[in-house]
């Protein structure tokens, strides 16, 4: 869902892609993501760097 939002899909378009989701839940998730975007990106980068470091050490 976050990927679809990042690709420019509206909440309504996401609802069409994922019919089991409710529109208020989609809006809540998008809001949470936007409020915590820096933390999510930092965490993803940290994980990626750790994974690459682990692969290099093998």
Q: What is the pLDDT along the chain (58 residues), one digit of tens a residue?
A: 888 998 999 999 999 999 999 999 999 999 988 888 888 778 878 888 888 888 777 6
* CA separation for the pair 44, 38 (Å, rounded): 10
Please give the model's pTM, rounded to 2 decimal places.
0.66
Please check whether residue 1 is in contact with residue 16, taking contact to mean a CB–CB distance below 8 angstroms: no
Which one-letter DSSP state was computed for residue 21?
A: S
């Amino acid at each position: 869902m976050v990927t679809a939002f990042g690709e420019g899909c509206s909440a309504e378009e996401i609802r069409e892609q994922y019919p089991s989701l409710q529109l208020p839940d989609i809006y809540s998730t998008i809001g949470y993501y936007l409020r915590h975007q820096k933390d999510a990106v930092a965490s993803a980068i940290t994980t990626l760097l750790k994974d690459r470091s682990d692969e290099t050490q093998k």
